[in-house]
Amino acid sequence: MIKNMIDSRVVLYAIFITSLCDAAKILAVFPTAIPSHYILGNALLRGLANAGHDVTMLSPFTEKNPPKNCSWRDIVLTGVIDQQQENIKMLTKYQWLGQYSSLTALIVPFMGAYTSEKILNHTNVQKLMRSGEKFDVVIVGQFHSEATKAFSNLFDAHLILFSSIGTNSMLNHLVGNPSLPSFAPEFMSSFPPKMSFLQRVQNTIYRFMISSVLHLYAYSANDKMVKKYFPSPFDQLDLKDALYNVSLVLLNSHLSISSAIPYVPCMIDIGGFHVKPPKKLPNDLQVFLDSAKEGVIYMSLGSNIKSKDLPPECKTAILNTFSKLKLKVLWKWEDDVMPGQPTNVKIGKWLPQQDILAHPNVKLFITQGGLLSTIETVYRGVPIIAIPFFGDQQMNAYSAEKAGYGIVLLSKDLSEESLTSVIEEILNNPKYTDEAKRRSKIINDRQVSPIDNAVYWVEYVVRHNGAKHLRVQYLDLAWYQYYLLDVFAFLLAVAITS
Ligand SMILES: *[C@@H]1O[C@H](CO)[C@@H](O)[C@H](O)[C@H]1NC(C)=O
Ligand SMILES: *[C@@H]1O[C@H](CO)[C@@H](O)[C@H](O)[C@H]1NC(C)=O
């Protein structure tokens, strides 16, 4: 009798819960063939799938191991990877620009428009667009394929943006986030948050350039693609309706790695959400790391740059430096053999980076300064030497240096002497490790885990039918009204005439 009562209560409770949080149908659009972007999109979508939502991933990659108990579908942009990786290689050629190489960010909107066309014209995407299928939410990885934001109108869904690099001026104006060039350094500069006069002048010019590219080229080019590739009647859509109709922005950033800046209510920080609790290491690595009494240097240049393809003089300099060290070195090396491999160096084609960084004997991480690596190293409290190559790596590298948990070593300056001296500086001066550990404490001090927070906010948008109450009303002001130019002009006119 009592058992029956409990059973029926459990059933009732179960019905109550499922009716409270219906599974949402979620489409994620991560069309860039940059592995780190995909890894982030994938981690976000996994979190949502695990929470019981029905997810579809549109990207150039296939998930080989989709979560078993969940509803996961891949729509693969076949044939896009090679092409895009050529573009990425092209960007590495601009290193000679040095501090200014971040200016290559200006090329990105053009690459984005090119990508948009490739995506919208793709057979698998055309099939989806013409299927009549609807979604509750469309999550777009913010990387300039602006046209895909109009999927929200096509699929009758709420639009959520995901930014892998935190706030930036290509995103802020879409949701009205305050970011005057006086205090918000451009994504492509390596300026500190507190800029000198000349830096503010440069920063304002950068902002002007980026805004011009977006407004004079990117948005209209993408709008044309909506009109060309969307099925009727959606080919009549105005892309601007989608661009400025964002329900939520999930930001892959955190105060432990970026400086304190304002966020409008629809912006939510989930930086570190892709980092998993440490797992057991493979046996050989466990033994290698455990036995390194003097400590270990972990080196990996990420997924775009291959260590084995470094210029021979760089490789020689690194090997000579490592061979003199008392420490052991674990190096992500994409080949079976390493010519001249010193005895204290162990290589691996693929290494479980997050778990390695969690090992207490790891004293230093030599990285290209990729975003994921930067977050993972802060999460685990390991200082870095950053050898940046392209894209945001330079910015991340300099920001780690300014933050005090890393040192930048440009590949053109890399020699046996320079590398030895920065390794000694980091290992002998405790301030770098202390700063990494201090930041690690901050990123790990969260009310809820960042992935649970992301899931909560996506569900919040669905529960509140787009959560338009999060949208700041001043987004509807014209730019001259926002900057009070009309008011100043009026006051000036009054002052002059009276
Ligand atoms: C699927 O399994 C994972 C891991 O066991 C679990 O965390 C998740 O909640 C499950 N998801 C669903 C929808 O049952
Ligand atoms: C803005 O998005 C909501 C859904 O979040 C949708 O109902 C509305 O029609 C959209 N507005 C425009 C102008 O497209």
Other C-beta atoms closer than 10 Å to the C-beta of 263 total 18
Residues contacting 427, CB < 8 A, separation 6+ = 295, 327, 363, 364
Q: Are residues 467 and 382 in the same domain?
A: no
CA 52 from chain center: how many Å?
Answer: 24
| Ligand 1 site, residue 71, Cβ cutoff 6 A | no
Residue 245: nearest ligand to its CA?
A: 2
Other C-beta atoms closer than 10 Å to the C-beta of 50 total 14
| Ligand 1 site, residue 316, Cβ cutoff 6 A | no
Q: Are residues 313 and 457 in the same domain?
A: no
The per-residue pLDDT for 204 is 93
Read off the pLDDT band of 399 (50, 70, 90): confident
Q: Are residues 268 and 294 in the same domain?
A: no
Whole-model pTM: value is: 0.89
**pLDDT tens, position by position, 22-33:** 899 999 999 888
Q: Would you say residue 491 lies in a domain? A: no
- The CA-based dihedral angle spanning residues 449, 450, 451, 456, taken in that order and rounded to the nearest 10 degrees: 90
The per-residue pLDDT for 193 is 76
Q: Would you say residue 487 lies in a domain? A: no
Q: Are residues 264 and 340 in the same domain?
A: no
Q: Are residues 463 and 326 in the same domain?
A: no
Question: What DSSP string describes 171-203?
Answer: HHHHHT----TTTS--TTS---SS--HHHHHHH
With CA atoms as reference, report the closest residue to 272 among 260, 255, 259: 255
Question: Rg for the chain (alpha carbons), in Å?
Answer: 25
Q: Would you say residue 28 lies in a domain? A: yes
Residues contacting 233, CB < 8 A, separation 6+ = none
Q: Are residues 131 and 193 in the same domain?
A: yes
Q: Would you say residue 435 lies in a domain? A: yes
Please identify, among 416, 444, 472, the residue that sits at the C-terminal boundary of a domain.
Answer: 444
Q: Would you say residue 488 lies in a domain? A: no
**pLDDT tens, position by position, 116-132:** 888 999 999 999 999 99
Q: Would you say residue 493 lies in a domain? A: no
Q: Quote the domain boundaries for residue 174.
A: 2-273+449-482
| Ligand 2 site, residue 112, Cβ cutoff 6 A | no
**pLDDT tens, position by position, 172-212:** 999 999 999 999 888 767 787 789 999 999 999 989 988 99
Which of ligand 1's atoms lies nearest the C-alpha of 49?
Answer: 13
Q: Would you say residue 497 lies in a domain? A: no
**pLDDT tens, position by position, 155-164:** 999 999 999 9
Mean pLDDT of the chain: 89
Which of ligand 2's atoms lies nearest the C-alpha of 153?
Answer: 14
Q: Which is more confidently placed, 190 or 145?
A: 145
Domains in the chain: how many in total? 2
Read off the pLDDT band of 100 (50, 70, 90): low
Q: Are residues 102 and 221 in the same domain?
A: yes
Q: Are residues 477 and 420 in the same domain?
A: no
Q: How far is the CA of 121 from the centre of ligand 2 (A)?
A: 25
The per-residue pLDDT for 34 is 82
Please name the residue that has the structure tokens 């919208």. 120
Q: Which of 250-254, 374-378, 393-397, 458-462 has the lowest mean pLDDT?
A: 393-397
The per-residue pLDDT for 477 is 93
Checking if the pLDDT of 356 tops 50, the result is: yes
- Ligand 1 mutation pick, 22, 55, 68, 70, max ligand atoms within 8 A of CB: 70
Residue 153: nearest ligand to its CA?
A: 2
- Per-residue pLDDT, averaged over 471-496, amounts to 94
Tokens representing residue 390 in the block? 């392209």
Which of ligand 2's atoms lies nearest the C-alpha of 461?
Answer: 5
Backbone torsions φ then ψ of 26, nearest 5 degrees: -120, 130
Hey, is 294 helix, strand or coil?
coil
Task: Give, in order, the Cα–Cα distances in Å from 114 to each of 76, 108, 211.
Answer: 18, 10, 19
Integer Cα distance of 323 and 340 in angstroms: 10
Task: Give, in order, the Cα–Cα distances in Å from 253 to each of 58, 71, 146, 271, 311.
Answer: 23, 28, 21, 4, 33
The CATH number of the domain holding residue 425 is: 3.40.50.2000
Residue 89 in contact with residue 40, Cβ under 8 Å? no
Q: Are residues 313 and 412 in the same domain?
A: yes
Q: Are residues 372 and 404 in the same domain?
A: yes
Q: Would you say residue 19 lies in a domain? A: yes
With CA atoms as reference, report the closest residue to 476 among 137, 226, 240: 240
Q: Are residues 413 and 475 in the same domain?
A: no
Which of ligand 1's atoms lies nearest the C-alpha of 50?
Answer: 11
Q: Are residues 130 and 199 in the same domain?
A: yes
